[in-house]
Structure formats: C-alpha cells, structure tokens
Amino acid sequence: MQPAVILSAAEYQNLTARLEKLEQAEAARILASTAKPDQVLTTAQAAAYIGLSVCALLRARRAGRLQGVRLNEKDWGFRQSVLDAYPRRYHRPAMQVAAA
C-alpha cells in the first residue's frame, strides 16, 4: 500500500515552485562545471596578448595590478580572464599631440 498525502492547492504550488527552482539551480551548476577552464598563458604569450612588453607585464604583476600564477622558479603565467580585465581597468588613452 502506498501512503497518500493530502495537500492544499497553495501548499502544492509552493512545493512545485521550490522544486522548479532547485532544478534550475542544478542545471546552472552542471553548466558551470562543464564550462571551458580558464587558459593560462606564459609571460611572453601574455605580453603579446595584452599588448605590453614583458618587463611592463612583470612590473604590473609586482605592483599587484595583475595576478600571476607561478609556473616554475623563473617564469610566471597569467590567466586569460585576468588579462582580459586588465586593459579595461588600467588602460590610459594615449595623449594626443595638439596640432599647431
């Protein structure tokens, strides 16, 4: 024998709404876990990608403006998402020379 539970219409709607919200959250979690991982670029690749010299890129890392990932004792890596955010935050437009 199966037990039967009698619910009011409001209670039933509340439970189905909660169930739908949980299913959406689970779908979002699964989608986030299958997303492409962030690519780590070497110092030279990151400098070329962002349009800075290697020295300027390393200075920005030492100053704390860029977060780096240690690859080995000598070299640093940089996540592509961090590099994508860097020019929008710190880029200064070039000064224009006034025409005489």
Round to whole Å and give the CA distance between 60 and 51: 13
Residue 20 domain flag: no
Residues 7-62: tens digit of each pLDDT: 899 999 999 999 999 999 998 888 876 666 788 999 999 998 888 889 999 999 99
Residue 97 lies in a domain: no
Structural domain includes residue 55: yes
The domain of 54 spans 40-90
Residue 93 has pLDDT above 70, yes or no: no
Q: Average of pLDDT values for 65-73? A: 90
Count: domains in the chain: 1
How far, in Å, CA of 76 to CA of 100, rounded? 45
Which pLDDT belongs to residue 29?
Answer: 84
